[in-house]
């Protein structure tokens, strides 16, 4: 059986929606003649563990786990050592007083402008293309060892983080193996213009262009992202880009019973929020729901909102303000992280499933949970501007409302509650579009084609 080296920063026992795409591909690729060899990290910055997912890893799968170099910490230590050698901190202050530049370096790279002097430049170098840059060298070395041991026919890498693609590109250049890039999210195309105008944005753009030129093929998980990449890189053949969406695994999501016929109407959201920049937050929905209760359009006893695995957002000030509103008293139900295997039960108890994709920066992305929502055959209410999420939700009979349309969101909530979770039934053909086995079949065909081209080129040479 042919082997494929799969580079992904997350893999079981760690959980999270980003990891599931690689896990499901690796689970079903052996059915199509490809055995995975996985290169991943020992630990990610989202260390939620879901050990039950280990049962889905094909038996005997080699998994190589790298420990990244802590580049920021190493850079800060180097600067402190240089200050000690010089007997001062580099800005004329007595030795031992931290300089502004040193404080900036230790700040973890959150500020990415052109300022900051030498420390700012060093910080950006150590966090380009992302905060996992310290994975590059350990990943490259372990990847070479995996290639020597297992002789894969092709390399596959998935991002974010883009460092995975740097490793894939370097391994491909070193070994001559064809390399396939997979974008779970955009890279530079989602960054605002002011970020792209800065030094780090320019570096990332040149890096992205170089990697795209070096890839044998580029997979995008939404059509809007593929369209945007073709437009941004017109010098590349348009057929180099194809789309394989995220999906659901029928083995995880058997047909669910209808929603409860009595009791309060339950809105449910599963997964993390991203409050920075209001990228993905429930604030518009919470405001609309509170106002409907205050107006008497909804009775508090008749509605519930269940937030499952929301992350840090529900510990923050914004959510605390909503939770303190008398109108929402007794309505909100917050649940910490649950294993992925428990999600079907959460969806089964819901009357309506919520999506939040508030920022236009996410216009090319679709939350991975959307496909599990589709399988659950519940109404979907998305708070999202025009873009990939809105387009998909509309296509499956859901409702998408822009985050600034307060009255439209109130009307959608009232209509859903009045309809008591009446959802369109999905046909088998529609569901098959998003099944993990079917999507993996498409990936296997793509790997077949690229490996075949590479073999033909070597024979012809």
Mapping DSSP onto H, E and C, the string for the chain reads CEEEEEECCCCCCECCHHHHHHHHHHHHHHHHCEEEEEEEECCCCCCCECHHHHHHCCCCCCEEEECCCCHHHHHHHHHHHHHHHHCECCCCCECCCCCHHHHHHHCCCCCCCCCCHHHHHHHHHHCCCCCCHHHHHHHHHHHHHHHHHHCCCEEEEEECCCHHHHHHHHHHHHHCCCEEEEECCCCHHHCCHHHHCCHHHHHHHHHHHHHHHHCCEEEECCHHHHHHHHHHCCCCCHHHEEECCCCECCCCCCCCCCCCCCCCEEEEEECCCECHHHCECCHHHHHHHHHHHHHCCCCHHHEEEEEECCHHHHHCHHHHHHHCCHHHCCCEEEECCCCHHHHHHHHHCCCEEEEECCCHHHCCCCCCHHHHHHHHCCCEEEECCCCHHHHHHHHCCCEEECCCCHHHHHHHHHHHHHHCCCCCCCCHHHHHCCEHHHHHHHHHHHHHHHHHHHHHHHHHC
| Domain limits, the chain | 2-68+132-247+436-460, 71-126, 265-429
Confidence at residue 258, expressed as pLDDT on a 0 to 100 scale:
83
Q: Once rounded to an integer, what is the mean pLDDT over residues 297-304?
A: 95
Neighbours of 92 (CB within 10 A): 8
Confidence at residue 460, expressed as pLDDT on a 0 to 100 scale:
57
Neighbours of 170 (CB within 10 A): 19
Confidence band of 96 (pLDDT split at 50, 70, 90): very low
Question: Using one digit for the tens of pLDDT, what is the confidence trace for 323-353?
Answer: 999 999 999 999 988 888 889 999 999 999 9
Question: Using one digit for the tens of pLDDT, what is the confidence trace for 175-201?
Answer: 999 999 999 999 999 888 888 988 889
Lowest mean pLDDT among 47-51, 207-211, 352-356, 438-442: 47-51
Q: Is pLDDT above 70 for 443?
A: yes
Taking alpha carbons only, the member of 364, 137, 342, 95 closest to residue 231 is: 364
Q: Once rounded to an integer, what is the mean pLDDT over residues 299-323?
A: 93
Question: Mean pLDDT for the chain?
Answer: 87
Confidence at residue 268, expressed as pLDDT on a 0 to 100 scale:
97
Q: Is pLDDT above 80 for 306?
A: yes
146 sits in the region (left: phi over 0; alpha: psi -120 to 50; else beta) called: alpha
pTM, rounded to two decimals = 0.85
Question: Using one digit for the tens of pLDDT, what is the confidence trace for 133-174?
Answer: 999 999 999 999 999 999 999 999 999 999 999 999 999 999
Question: Using one digit for the tens of pLDDT, what is the confidence trace for 345-366?
Answer: 999 999 999 999 999 888 999 9
To 10 degrees, what angle do helices 369-376 and 388-395 make? 10
The CATH superfamily label for domain 2-68+132-247+436-460 reads Glycogen Phosphorylase B; (3.40.50.2000)
Confidence at residue 127, expressed as pLDDT on a 0 to 100 scale:
83
Q: Once rounded to an integer, what is the mean pLDDT over residues 106-112?
A: 36
Confidence at residue 106, expressed as pLDDT on a 0 to 100 scale:
30
Query: Higher pLDDT residue, 455 or 121?
Result: 121
Sheet holding 303-308, edge to edge: 332-335, 303-308, 265-270, 352-356, 380-383, 399-401
Confidence at residue 49, expressed as pLDDT on a 0 to 100 scale:
83
Neighbours of 87 (CB within 10 A): 8
Same CATH topology for 2-68+132-247+436-460 and 265-429? yes
Sheet holding 2-7, edge to edge: 63-66, 34-41, 2-7, 154-159, 179-183, 217-220, 241-243
Confidence at residue 18, expressed as pLDDT on a 0 to 100 scale:
80
β-pairing verdict for 352-356 and 265-270:
parallel
d(CA 319, CA 345): 25
Taking alpha carbons only, the member of 9, 366, 26 closest to residue 165 is: 9
Q: Is pLDDT above 60 for 38?
A: yes
Chain centroid to CA 50: 17
Residues contacting residue 153 through CB under 8 Å, at least 6 positions apart? 2, 3, 4, 177, 447, 451, 454, 455
Rg (C-alpha) for the chain, rounded Å, is 24
Confidence band of 82 (pLDDT split at 50, 70, 90): low
CA torsion angle 229 235 236 242 (round to 10): 30
Q: Once rounded to an integer, what is the mean pLDDT over residues 241-246?
A: 97
Q: What are phi and psi of 182, to 5 degrees?
A: -125, 125
Lowest mean pLDDT among 173-177, 264-268, 432-436: 432-436
| Token pair 């350990």 in the structure block, residue | 138
| Token pair 């917050």 in the structure block, residue | 334
Q: Once rounded to an integer, what is the mean pLDDT over residues 115-120?
A: 69
Confidence at residue 76, expressed as pLDDT on a 0 to 100 scale:
61
Tokens of 279: 């990228």
Confidence at residue 457, expressed as pLDDT on a 0 to 100 scale:
63
Q: Is pLDDT above 50 for 20?
A: yes
Looking at the chain, the whole-number percentage of residues with pLDDT higher than 90 is 65
Confidence at residue 280, expressed as pLDDT on a 0 to 100 scale:
93
d(CA 439, CA 160): 20
Q: Which of 79-93, 137-151, 309-323, 420-434 has the highest mean pLDDT?
A: 137-151
Which CATH number does the domain 265-429 belong to among 3.40.50.12280, 3.40.50.2000, 3.30.70.580, 3.30.40.10? 3.40.50.2000
Confidence at residue 426, expressed as pLDDT on a 0 to 100 scale:
66
d(CA 133, CA 130): 6
Dihedral (CA of 241, 242, 245, 251) sign: negative
d(CA 187, CA 196): 11
Tokens of 345: 């039960």
Q: Is pLDDT above 60 for 101?
A: no
């Amino acid at each position: 059986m042919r082997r494929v080296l799969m580079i992904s920063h997350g893999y079981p026992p760690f959980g999270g929606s980003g990891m599931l795409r690689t896990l499901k591909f690796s689970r079903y690729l052996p059915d199509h003649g490809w055995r995975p060899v996985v290169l991943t990290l020992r630990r990610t910055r989202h260390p939620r563990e879901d050990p039950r997912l280990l049962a889905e890893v094909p038996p005997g799968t080699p998994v190589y786990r790298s420990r990244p170099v802590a580049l920021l910490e190493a850079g800060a230590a180097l600067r402190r050592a240089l200050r000690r050698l010089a007997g001062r901190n580099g800005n004329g202050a007595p030795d031992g007083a931290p300089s502004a530049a040193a404080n900036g370096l230790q700040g973890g790279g959150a500020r990415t402008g052109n300022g900051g002097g030498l420390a700012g430049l060093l910080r950006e170098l150590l966090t380009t293309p992302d905060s996992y840059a310290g994975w590059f060298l350990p990943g490259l070395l372990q990847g070479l060892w995996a290639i020597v041991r297992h002789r894969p026919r092709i390399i596959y890498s998935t991002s974010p983080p883009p460092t995975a693609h740097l490793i894939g590109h370097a391994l491909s250049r070193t070994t001559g193996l064809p390399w396939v890039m997979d974008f779970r999210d955009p890279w530079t195309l989602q960054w605002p213009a002011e970020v792209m105008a800065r030094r780090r944005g320019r570096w990332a753009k040149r890096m992205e262009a170089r990697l795209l030129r070096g890839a044998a093929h580029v997979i995008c998980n939404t059509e809007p992202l593929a369209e945007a990449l073709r437009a941004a890189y017109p010098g590349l053949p348009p057929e180099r880009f194809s789309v394989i969406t995220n999906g659901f695994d029928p083995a995880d999501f058997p047909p669910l019973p209808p929603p409860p016929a009595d009791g309060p109407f339950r809105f449910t959201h599963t997964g993390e929020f991203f409050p920075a920049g209001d990228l993905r937050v429930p604030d518009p929905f919470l405001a609309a729901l509170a106002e409907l209760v205050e107006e008497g359009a909804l009775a508090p006893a008749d509605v519930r909102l269940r937030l499952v695995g929301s992350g840090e957002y529900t510990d923050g000030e914004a959510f605390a303000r909503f939770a303190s509103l008398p109108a929402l008293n007794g309505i909100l139900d917050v649940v910490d992280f649950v294993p992925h295997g428990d999600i079907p039960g959460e969806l089964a108890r819901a009357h309506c499933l919520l999506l939040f994709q508030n920022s236009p920066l996410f216009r090319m992305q679709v939350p991975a949970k959307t496909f599990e929502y589709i399988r659950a055959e519940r109404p979907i209410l998305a708070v999202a501007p025009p873009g990939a999420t809105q387009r998909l939700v509309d296509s499956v009979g859901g409702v998408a409302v822009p985050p600034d349309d307060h009255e439209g969101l109130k009307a959608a909530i009232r209509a859903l509650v009045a309809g008591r979770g009446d959802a369109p039934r999905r046909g088998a053909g529609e569901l098959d579009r998003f099944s993990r086995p079917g999507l993996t079949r498409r990936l296997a065909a793509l790997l077949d084609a690229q490996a075949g081209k590479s073999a033909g080129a070597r024979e012809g040479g």
